Amino acid sequence: TDPMQKSQEMQEVKDDFNIQASFLALVQLLWQVKSRRASSRDQIYRSSGTTVPDAMLEGMDEMFELADLAYDEHKDGGIKHVLNGMGYNLLKHDTTAVPGYLGHYIAINADQSEGKRAIIGVKGTSNLEDFLTDSCASAVEYNLTNPFYEGGSNTLRCHEGVFISSQRLSEDLLPLIKNLLIPSGYKITIVGHSLGAGCGSLLALLLRTRIPSLQDNDKLKVWAFASPPVLDLDSALACSPFVTTVVNNCDVVPRANVSPLIVTVRLMRAMNKRLKERDLDASDFKSTVAFLNKIREGTDGEMLMSADEFISELDNALERVELNDFDHLYVPGRVVVMYDLWEKEQRKLEDQKERHQYDFINIVKDWMQRLKDTEVHPNHDAGVIDIPTAEEAVLCMDGTCKALRFIELDGRLIDDHMAPQYRSSIANVLSSRNAAKKEIFEHQKP
């Protein structure tokens, strides 16, 4: 990246402008788009990839449940009991809760008539120690023992905290994998949610550098649910043969990096410009009163920019961000993005308006309160707000797809990260896909 361009990007984030007013105005605009022309947003997701092949979705629900088990908070009992019920025997369970170290388990399938499979489940963020690991998000360059793919480099850039934790985990697991699982003929699947997903991907990458046979893509796979951006562009793309990342709707964590932040700040700047043009920038008493009155209009008020203008601003912001910047990280591998249709939400909002139940100010207040009260990545179902879940899915070739390159300021950006929402979305996507196949089959009957 041009150093001048990089300096300009960072300056845009730091430059003084009315962040609060621009943020609220952007949220209001997005709600207006949702209530008036939701298809504009849905098209961003549709155009971000292609239809997910049925074979790629096969087993996704089981892989998520195995990832979820790493939290060891299952309603049906302890991890050993639940694994037995799923047809696996527990070999090892580490409940480490120290910053920089990862809780994890290893299990093997009980019925090996169709092959031997070992599961490595890596625990996600559920406490302060895990959050400290998440927070070490600097992009740092590391040297590898060997390239993790044929013809690759011996260096990569990655999320500092996740790499350090994954490196320690790989050293811990290497003897067992190298001396027991591989000689015994086990294929290995690594699963994780949130921090566990990012660490699981880097664990697989590191194991491929130490055990050449694992570079056979059939012998080592990763299912990464809600992974944060952890790798530089080239490394993230090179993970495609063995890593599948799954993203639920507007989950903020897979977008938690410098590049989406810059794009979102540019959208806020575009809103700030519109506010200034109309003396709504809250720079003095008069404009503050006018701005508050504007916000109180909710979705019924005049839009500060049309849906087409918003999409144009988004495209311009994306074009100005260099993909291969040193500080920009991406989710690894192939990416399945599950998404809910805003068009469906639009119909709901229209119904709420007819019954006089829709109040934008209260919705924003409720959203901010939930951001304040939400636990650090809770895994349990209790207390989770009943919100819509995804019903459609798109296969994005990688983490550079348009849907993942900006932070979608929707009230669900935190809720969509939680394990219960992933579970519901996966169930809905698979159910919708099965219903579609059944309908096709019925039509094809003679």
CB atoms within 10 A of CB 114: 7
pLDDT band at 425 (very low <50, low <70, confident <90, very high): very high
Q: How far apart are CA 204 and CA 213, in angstroms?
A: 12
Taking alpha carbons only, the member of 215, 160, 150 closest to residue 188 is 215
Least confident of 50-59, 216-225, 257-266, 337-346: 337-346
pLDDT at 132 (0 to 100): 42
pLDDT band at 358 (very low <50, low <70, confident <90, very high): very low
Helix, strand and coil percent figures for the chain, each rounded to 5: 50, 15, 35
Q: What is the pTM of this model?
A: 0.87
pLDDT at 8 (0 to 100): 55
Q: Which residues, in sequence order, are CB contacts of 309 under 8 Å at separation 6+?
A: none
- Nearest-10 crossing angle of helices 342-354, 19-36: 90
Q: The dihedral of CA 81, 421, 71, 103: what is its sign?
A: positive
Q: Is it the case that residue 260 has pLDDT exceeding 80?
A: yes
Q: How far apart are CA 131 and CA 209, in angstroms?
A: 28
For 367-427, give the DSSP string.
Answer: HHHHHHH--SS--SSTT--------EEEEESSTTSGGGSS----TTTTGGGSHHHHHHHHH
Q: How far apart are CA 18 and CA 268, in angstroms?
A: 9
